[in-house]
Structure formats: C-alpha cells, structure tokens
Amino acid sequence: MYFETWAAAWAMEGHGAYVWWAYLVTMLALVAMVLAPLRRLRRHVQWISGDIKRRGATEPVRADGAAAGENA
C-alpha cells in the first residue's frame, strides 16, 4: 500500500473527497448498468412461467417458428 495509514488513504492529502466520491458514483452507475437488464430479464421470465401456469400446460404455444435457424 502506498499510504501509511487508513486515515491517510482516506484523506489523500486533501484530494480524498474528490477521489472517493468519483469512485462511489462510478460504482453505483456500473452496478445499475448491470442490474437493470438483470431485473428486466427476471421479470420477463416470471411472466413466462406465470403464463405457462395460467394455461395449465408447458405445451408450446407456437410450434411453427421454433426451428433453431429462426431469425426473428
């Protein structure tokens, strides 16, 4: 570690507030950037499993366009 104490690392010779805030803001933004699509994905998956239950079967609704080469 470059700094001798944790207090020195926190203060960074007067620049601590700038540096730590910049890292905090960045971390929050990056976490949100990954969590947002994850939550959307989970919501969609929940809707689909609910839909499967509602219809009372896991039978495919649409059997035609299910081929692996489908480009849609």
Partner 1 sequence: MWSFIHKLGSPPWFYRFSGTFIRWLLPITVGMLVCGAIWGLLIAPPDFRQGNSYRIIYIHVPAAVVALAGYYVMAFAGAVSLIWRIKMADVAMRAAAPVGAVLTAVALVTGAIWGKPTWGAWWVWDARITSMLILFFLYLGVVALFEAYENKAAAAKACAVLSLVGTVNIPIIYKSVDWWYSLHQPASIKFTGESAIDASMLYPLLLMIVAFYFLFACAVLLNMRAELVWAHRQSSWLRQALGAA
Enumerate residues 34-53 that contact partner 1 by CB under 8 A.
Answer: 34, 36-38, 40-41, 44-45, 47-49, 51-52
Among 5, 7, 21, 56, binds partner 1 (CB under 8 A): 21
Between the alpha carbon of residue 68 and those of residues 21, 33, 65, 72, the distances in Å are 48, 30, 9, 11
Neighbouring residues of 52: CB distance < 8 A, sequence distance ≥ 6: 58
At closest approach, how far in Å is the CB of 59 from partner 1?
8
Q: Which residue, 1 or 56, is less far from partner 1 as judged by CB?
A: 1
